[in-house]
């Protein structure tokens, strides 16, 4: 299948993935990456240290890439993925490359994508578009919303969704915050010492979300701040109705559950005052903090009680 000007669907990447899913008859999670690639006429191949030993071109690629869309004019185009990656990561990479393959304005180029390009925090517009399209393949919105509505807001819900859609924790959590109709957000926390001790201007567009027509610079922190704040906000993704925005770069002090979860390496559930995230608001969030393995990062799910009596989200009606 090939999208051209004749079946141009606009500039929203997820629409292209939805059309492919509809037309290929895939209606249940997990979406099979092989079926999607096959429907799009793309061959799936893996590269590894062994295969690269016989092919110098692959050796060059393997140094920097986790996935590669290799277009061929007279043959079948291919998606290469790193054979050593874990399964969920391969699926994310394959669907990401499918995004490059079907978005009409990505046409005619090979895409050699590194781990950073397939990362949800990627800054380049082209890569963000492909991430959006790939997320729709991996966790189709309709199926995902049904699952979200059937589960209480919690890390447990994200874990369930992750297993159902065979996806890694981080992209699933981002999708969860982005799609859920309730009041919730995901804060990714990282150690301050991993950052350079001077203000850096970065494009911190929240992953998977609308791009603002203006830039919101991260909060610059000084070296003194690094001592006061051992942790920092890497990024924040919120549901549409969550009432607060937490800026990337916000420092987190000691003496709260976020810090305790990070220091102990154990998950924690608690109420966390909004002031922990730099807000002057007097309320507290319900929160769950999950350390993410050896990465040194902590994923924090925040949510607030939803006092709307009933929200018929699927039909976009508030009762
Ligand atoms: Zn890419």
Structure confidence at residue 318 as a pLDDT band (50, 70, 90): very low
Residue 73 CA to ligand 1 center (angstroms) comes to 20
Residue 161 CA to ligand 1 center (angstroms) comes to 24
CB-based contact 62:113 (threshold 8 Å): no
- Mean pLDDT value across residues 89-103: 94
Residue 103 CA to ligand 1 center (angstroms) comes to 12
**Residue 110: is its pLDDT beyond 90?**
no
Tell me which of 94-108, 167-181, 203-217 is least confident: 203-217
pLDDT attached to residue 202: 44
pLDDT attached to residue 195: 47
Residue 186 CA to ligand 1 center (angstroms) comes to 24
Q: What domains can you pick out in the chain, each with its CATH number?
A: 5-138 (no CATH), 182-303 (3.30.450.130)
Residue 95 CA to ligand 1 center (angstroms) comes to 10
Residue 295 CA to ligand 1 center (angstroms) comes to 23
- In angstroms, the Cα distances linking 254 to 64, 135, 168, 228, 232 are 37, 35, 29, 8, 11
**Residue 56: is its pLDDT beyond 90?**
no
Helix (H) or strand (E) holding 95: helix 87-102
Three-state DSSP at 74 gives coil
CB-based contact 198:139 (threshold 8 Å): no
pLDDT attached to residue 35: 96
Residues with CB under 5 A from ligand 1 (ion): 111, 113, 117, 127, 130
Tell me which of 54-58, 86-90, 98-102, 234-238 is least confident: 54-58
Sheet architecture: strand order including 77-82: 42-47, 77-82, 67-70, 111-113
**Residue 291: is its pLDDT beyond 50?**
yes
pLDDT in tens, 294-315: 889 999 999 999 877 455 555 5
**Residue 277: is its pLDDT beyond 50?**
yes
Residue 180 CA to ligand 1 center (angstroms) comes to 26
- In angstroms, the Cα distances linking 140 to 95, 97, 144, 165 are 12, 16, 6, 9
pLDDT attached to residue 157: 96
Residue 113 CA to ligand 1 center (angstroms) comes to 4
CA–CA dist 259, 299 (Å, integer): 11
CA–CA dist 270, 268 (Å, integer): 7
- Token pair of 47 as six digits: 């590269």
Residue 17 CA to ligand 1 center (angstroms) comes to 15
- Mean pLDDT value across residues 54-61: 67
Structure confidence at residue 285 as a pLDDT band (50, 70, 90): very high
CB-based contact 219:247 (threshold 8 Å): yes
Structure confidence at residue 200 as a pLDDT band (50, 70, 90): very low
CB-based contact 1:39 (threshold 8 Å): yes
pLDDT in tens, 18-39: 999 999 999 999 999 999 999 9
Beta 251-252 vs 111-113: how paired, if at all? unpaired
Q: Which residues pair with 80 in a beta bridge?
A: 45, 68
Other beta carbons within 10 angstroms of residue 144's beta carbon come to 23
Residue 97 CA to ligand 1 center (angstroms) comes to 6
- Token pair of 22 as six digits: 């509809």
Question: Would residue 35 be called left, alpha or beta, if left means φ above 0 and alpha means ψ between -120 and 50 degrees?
Answer: alpha
Structure confidence at residue 58 as a pLDDT band (50, 70, 90): low
């Amino acid at each position: 299948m090939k999208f051209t000007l004749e079946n141009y669907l606009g500039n929203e990447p997820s629409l292209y993935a939805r059309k492919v899913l509809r037309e290929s008859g895939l209606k249940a999670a997990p979406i099979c990456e092989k079926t999607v690639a096959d429907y799009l006429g793309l061959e799936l191949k893996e590269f590894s240290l062994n295969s690269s030993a016989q092919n110098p071109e692959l050796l060059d690629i393997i140094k920097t890439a986790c996935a590669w869309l290799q277009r061929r004019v007279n043959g079948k185009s291919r998606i290469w993925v790193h054979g050593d990656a874990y399964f969920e990561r391969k699926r994310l990479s394959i669907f990401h490359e499918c995004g490059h393959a079907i978005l009409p304005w990505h046409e005619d180029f090979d895409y050699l994508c590194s781990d950073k390009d397939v990362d949800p925090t990627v800054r380049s517009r082209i890569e963000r578009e492909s991430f959006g399209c790939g997320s729709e393949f991996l966790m189709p919105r309709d199926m995902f919303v049904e699952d979200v509505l059937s589960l209480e807001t919690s890390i447990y819900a994200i874990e369930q969704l992750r297993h159902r859609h065979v996806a890694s924790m981080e992209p699933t959590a981002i999708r969860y915050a982005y799609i859920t109709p309730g009041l919730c957000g995901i804060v990714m926390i990282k150690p301050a010492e991993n950052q350079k001790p001077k203000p850096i201007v970065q494009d911190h567009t929240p992953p998977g979300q609308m791009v603002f027509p203006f830039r919101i610079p991260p909060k610059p922190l000084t070296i003194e701040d690094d001592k006061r704040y051992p942790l920092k906000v890497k990024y924040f993704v919120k549901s549409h109705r969550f009432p607060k925005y937490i800026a990337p770069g916000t420092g987190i002090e000691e003496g709260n559950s976020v810090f305790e979860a990070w220091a102990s390496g154990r998950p924690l559930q608690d109420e966390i005052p909004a002031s922990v995230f730099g807000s002057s608001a007097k309320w507290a969030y319900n929160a769950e903090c999950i350390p993410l393995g050896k990465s040194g990062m902590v994923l924090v799910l925040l949510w607030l009680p939803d006092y709307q009596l009933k929200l018929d989200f699927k039909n976009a009606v508030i009762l």
